[in-house]
Structure 1
Amino acid sequence: MNSRPIWFKSSYSDSEGSNCLEAALDWREPTPRAIHIRDSKLGPQGPTFTAAAPAWNAFLAHARTA
């Protein structure tokens, strides 16, 4: 089994390439246990931010109300 995250570009990133956010999910079936975020312009060696799934869900719920 491959333990490396599979990164995907956020649907909210712009098409010009200037604001590119990528995310990867760390799965523990049936739901992700963590979400990894990085700036695609910095490449794979750039820093990442990791949030536990419950914390990320709380952030998204708050962001939707703002």
Structure 2
Amino acid sequence: MTPELTWFKSSYSSNDGPSCVEVALSWFKSSHSSNDGPDCVEVALTPDHIHIRDSKTKNGPQLAVPATIWTQFIDSLRGA
């Protein structure tokens, strides 16, 4: 199965010139999500951020967390 890609224009792109670049997020379901229940979380990884969304509202709000903060959060959950 190919992961879903969500395309968006880079913040470095102009609206009307040769510098129009789009980038994509590859979303996947969290291993802690159920297939049919209310706990449906999807994540997409980039070098600098972790993107999080509700899989039932793919065009809804998303949370982008800096990777360093996400690592600290996970470490605190693990008691590291």
Q: TM-score, normalised by structure 2?
A: 0.66
Structure 2: how far apart are the matches of 1:49 and 1:11?
A: 18
Aligned residues: 59
Structure 2: how far apart are the matches of 1:61 and 1:18?
A: 25
Structure 1 residue 34 and structure 2 residue 54: aligned? no
Structure 1 residue 52 and structure 2 residue 66: aligned? yes
RMSD after superposition: 1.6
Q: Which has a greater percent of helix?
A: 1
Structure 2: how far apart are the matches of 1:62 and 1:15?
A: 27
Q: Which residue of 1 aligns with 2:30?
A: 10
Larger relative contact order, structure 1 or 2 (CA cutoff 8 Å, min sep 6): 1
Unpaired runs of 5+ residues, structure 2, are 1-20
Q: Which residue of 1 aligns with 2:77?
A: 63
Identity of aligned residues (%): 42
Larger Rg: 2
